[in-house]
Structure 1
Amino acid sequence: MGIVFLVLLVAAGTQATPSVLMVPLEREFGWSRTTISLAISIDIALYGLMGPFAAAAMQRFGVRPTILTALTTIAVGVGLSSMMSHPWQMIILWGVMIGGATGVAALTLSATIVNRWFTTHRGLVMGLLTASTATGSLVFLPMLAAISERFGWRLVVFVVAGIAAAVIPLVALLLPERPQSIGLKTYGESADFPAPSDETTNNPIAIAFSTLMSASKTKDFWLLFASFFICGASTNGYVGTHLIAMCGDYGMSEVQGASLLAAMGVFDLIGTTLSGWLSDRFNSRVLLFWYYGLRGLSLMYLPYAFGIDFFGLPLFAVFYGLDWVATVAPTVRLTTDRYGKEAAPVVFGWIVAGHQLGAAFATLGAGMLRASLGTYTVTTMLSGGLCIVASFVVLRINRRERRAAAQLV
């Protein structure tokens, strides 16, 4: 669990890096914010679209080989980006190469590890692993923004590439494939319970698409997909990518904007872990209703927060931060309950694809609206409104349990 947390932290930090590079690249090369947003949106989309194939590859080839390949690709791609001088190079390196590689070391990895290693406390563990995305921002962004401000953006990419490379030997030496490979039972399972096996000799692409075909015939899949699309659009797609640039519009420095994101990361670490604990004990639909609703209200408050001298932005950081990715653990719980422990990682991979498509849509859309309107206010309000819609959509997920209970009565 500790090694996987570290891998997820590095992937999250790598994903957050373009938000620090946006303004320096705009200044040095004269690239428009729309152009830079296009590369980032491709990165974010592939980050999600790789999820189901990554989960299937972990079943076919194993977790360790799959993650080692991803980390190596991240280190090489980020390092090569120090030499880019044209927009198409950023699209290839940050959009395609790094986006695809970080998508392997993402939420589907968390779901795979949770389902392989834990029978009890799954929600809590999923919350802790998901919190690594917040910790990645917390650890990386202020430091990277300070490096960029003092030494330039090229040193930033060298630092990120070095950190990714440093994790490779840790994974190679210390990450077991499954509990049974080191003589353990799945945590919470009785001693006489037969060891499960999710190994397969099937093609990972065939596994991913056959699972999609099966799940897409159910209404619950599309409800989960739609709600996570909005989740991505309202978190890393918009706030995670554009908040530093938005702060610049109000006269704040890049380090101040990155520090605000880091503060949100601290509260998200708390909120996401607590959300995992709650999802083990309470109805996940109700939890998601409150998470999306409160996030929507927080976003609608954001444009006014810049005008409030002392409490404005800190208040937003607390409430929005607590809710940043608190939605993940209840969504995984609903997916596992609906589709079963074996199929859940791949199904959740497709749901994460929806999350990242929403994020890519918001990244590009926010950049285009900012370029045409000169402000992020309209985008912020639209994002908040979508969250309010999602808060009601999630109440319709996996209602067959409720109907079955009613029939018994």
Structure 2
Amino acid sequence: MDTNRKWIVAAGAALAIVVAGAFSTLAGLLVGPLHEELGWSRSAVGLGSLVNMVVYGATAPFAAALMDRVGMRKVAVGALGLVGGGALLATTMTAPWQFVLYWGVLVGLGTGATATTFAATVTERWFVARRGLVAGLLTAASVVGQFVFLPLLSWVIDAWGWRAAAYGLAFAAAGALPLVYAAVRDPDAAPLHVRADKAIKPDKAVRTAQTVNFLRSGPFWLLAGTFAVCGASTNGVMWTHFAPAAHDHGMPTTVAASLLSLIGIFNVAGTVSSGWATDRFDPRRLLAAYYALRGLSLLALPPLLSATVDPPLVAFTLVFGLLDVATVPPTIALCRAHYGTGAPVVFGWVSAAHQVGAGSVAYVGGVVRDLFGSYDLVWVGAGVLCAVAALLALVIERGQRRPCSSGALSTA
């Protein structure tokens, strides 16, 4: 396998992930503008975010299967077309249901197809050594898209309105599309164990049995449960509600977006470091530590929010940033340990749980704000969920990676 070729593919995948990731967090900046300009309630905007995250999560496993059928290039290019089209249509919105359709469904489909499942598929097909590190790097690309551009998008919204930000992201997707098409491809020859597995060509009944197999396994549900909490405590609260919550305390939205961007910067270091650690240490214990520390940081957040940025709040952004997406490499590693070459599809279903948790808290957070005039209960609830996830992570069996030579997914 050509070394240069695989890194070109990884770079193309990273570009697609970065661009799609920028769409994932824009919704959090739209809460205020849509409420003020169109008169929509925060819960109505939260419903659009809920649909976006659920569609995102539901798309991931099917996108992984579609990559097996038509290839990674076509799926990545199609995903960029969906996010760009959804953003353009969103500029014409006049009713909440349109936000649900354009941003919730279309952008959700596109971002879901280029989610962490895409990173897992690229890693599985193109890399053998240092898979944890590569998974961490591609996950960090998602973080760059989600957070690094937030201050710029916030500034654009303040200067020219939310529609200008949507136009900008649509043009970014259009610009990235030919580059991704040129870079991303499937390997000419799969590794021996993958070729052997594909040579079996299981029929529909066997594929259905494979699905039921992993759905009946304990490790899958434990991984899905912990990753649902991961989504609830990141996408659900931070990406959707941090900026409006900080604004409630008098902080300008652009400053809050800059703090989210700072979280994104630390995310890169945390995710890459987590990938390195996953190659060397027990991923179950890593997950337990990540969730426990994340929960403590969320419980500490409410008294830190104010109109200004002070050292304790900066310390929070550092800690939360290091922990935010650090859960992805060990979760992928555990999927691989239990399900072998079926790991990308299984991780897609685990990612679906992540987005269900994220979307639920995104919606509930808006409802709580409308009812109580504060987000404090949301932070506390997310912290408690993280404590539960830390305990669940320790219960997951260690697993032992083995190829699925019999055509059935491994459930060690």
Fold conserved (TM > 0.5)? yes
Matches within 5 A, 1:69-108: 69-108=78-117
Asked if residue 391 in structure 1 is aligned to residue 390 in structure 2, the reply is: yes
Asked if residue 290 in structure 1 is aligned to residue 292 in structure 2, the reply is: no
Asked if residue 35 in structure 1 is aligned to residue 6 in structure 2, the reply is: no
| 1:198–1:33 distance in 2 versus 1, CA, 3 Å | farther
Contact 2:133 2:279 in 1 (8 A): yes
Asked if residue 327 in structure 1 is aligned to residue 336 in structure 2, the reply is: no
Deviation at 1:176, TM superposition (A): 2.2
Deviation at 1:139, TM superposition (A): 3.0
SS in 2 for 1:237: helix
Match of 1:226 in 2: 225
Contact 1:55 1:345 in 2 (8 A): yes
Deviation at 1:311, TM superposition (A): 1.4
Match of 1:242 in 2: 241
| 1:128–1:372 distance in 2 versus 1, CA, 3 Å | same
Match of 1:269 in 2: 268
Match of 2:311 in 1: 311
Relative to structure 2, which stretch is displaced further, 198-207 or 47-56?
198-207
Contact 1:36 1:87 in 2 (8 A): yes
Match of 2:337 in 1: 337
| 1:2–1:289 distance in 2 versus 1, CA, 3 Å | same
SS in 2 for 1:233: helix
Contact 1:53 1:204 in 2 (8 A): no
| 1:197–1:96 distance in 2 versus 1, CA, 3 Å | farther
Q: Residue 130 of structure 1 is aligned with which of 127, 132, 139?
A: 139
Asked if residue 13 in structure 1 is aligned to residue 22 in structure 2, the reply is: yes
Deviation at 1:31, TM superposition (A): 0.2
Contact 1:34 1:368 in 2 (8 A): yes
Query: What is the one-letter code of the residue matched to 1:330?
Result: P
2: CA distance between counterparts of 1:252 and 1:207? Answer: 56
Query: What is the one-letter code of the residue matched to 1:275?
Result: S
1: CA distance between counterparts of 2:239 and 2:203? Answer: 31
Matches within 5 A, 1:125-164: 125-164=134-173
2: CA distance between counterparts of 1:317 and 1:53? Answer: 34
Q: Which runs of 5+ in 2 are unaligned?
A: 1-9, 401-412
SS in 2 for 1:178: coil
2: CA distance between counterparts of 1:294 and 1:304? Answer: 17
Contact 1:291 1:327 in 2 (8 A): yes
1:36-93 C-alpha deviation (Å, 9 max, x unpaired) = 0000110011111101100000001111111111111111111111111111111110
Deviation at 1:310, TM superposition (A): 2.0
| 1:311–1:174 distance in 2 versus 1, CA, 3 Å | same
| 1:202–1:97 distance in 2 versus 1, CA, 3 Å | farther
Relative to structure 2, which stretch is displaced further, 14-23 or 145-154?
14-23
1:128-170 C-alpha deviation (Å, 9 max, x unpaired) = 1011122113332110100000111111100000001111101
SS in 2 for 1:323: helix
Match of 1:4 in 2: 13
Matches within 5 A, 1:371-386: 371-386=370-385
Q: Percent identity?
A: 39
2: CA distance between counterparts of 1:23 and 1:310? Answer: 24
Deviation at 1:195, TM superposition (A): 7.2
2: CA distance between counterparts of 1:17 and 1:203? Answer: 42
1:181-215 C-alpha deviation (Å, 9 max, x unpaired) = xxxx86xxxxxx67747769989999986543221
1: CA distance between counterparts of 2:206 and 2:73? Answer: 19
2: CA distance between counterparts of 1:223 and 1:268? Answer: 24
Query: What is the one-letter code of the residue matched to 2:327?
Result: T
Query: What is the one-letter code of the residue matched to 1:90?
Result: F
1:240-281 C-alpha deviation (Å, 9 max, x unpaired) = 111010111110111011001000000010000000000000
2: CA distance between counterparts of 1:81 and 1:198? Answer: 43
| 1:197–1:74 distance in 2 versus 1, CA, 3 Å | farther
Contact 1:59 1:200 in 2 (8 A): no
Q: Which runs of 5+ in 1 are unaligned?
A: 187-192, 402-409
Contact 1:237 1:358 in 2 (8 A): yes
Query: What is the one-letter code of the residue matched to 1:364?
Result: Y
SS in 1 for 2:236: coil
2: CA distance between counterparts of 1:352 and 1:206? Answer: 25
| 1:273–1:207 distance in 2 versus 1, CA, 3 Å | farther
| 1:207–1:168 distance in 2 versus 1, CA, 3 Å | farther
1: CA distance between counterparts of 2:203 and 2:379? Answer: 38
2: CA distance between counterparts of 1:138 and 1:77? Answer: 20
Contact 1:75 1:165 in 2 (8 A): yes
Contact 1:211 1:347 in 2 (8 A): no
Contact 2:90 2:102 in 1 (8 A): yes
Match of 2:66 in 1: 57
Match of 1:407 in 2: none
Contact 2:56 2:108 in 1 (8 A): yes
Contact 2:91 2:163 in 1 (8 A): yes
| 1:18–1:201 distance in 2 versus 1, CA, 3 Å | farther
Computed over aligned residues only, the root mean square deviation of the Cα atoms, in angstroms, reads: 2.1
1: CA distance between counterparts of 2:101 and 2:162? Answer: 18
Query: What is the one-letter code of the residue matched to 1:233?
Result: A
| 1:362–1:209 distance in 2 versus 1, CA, 3 Å | farther
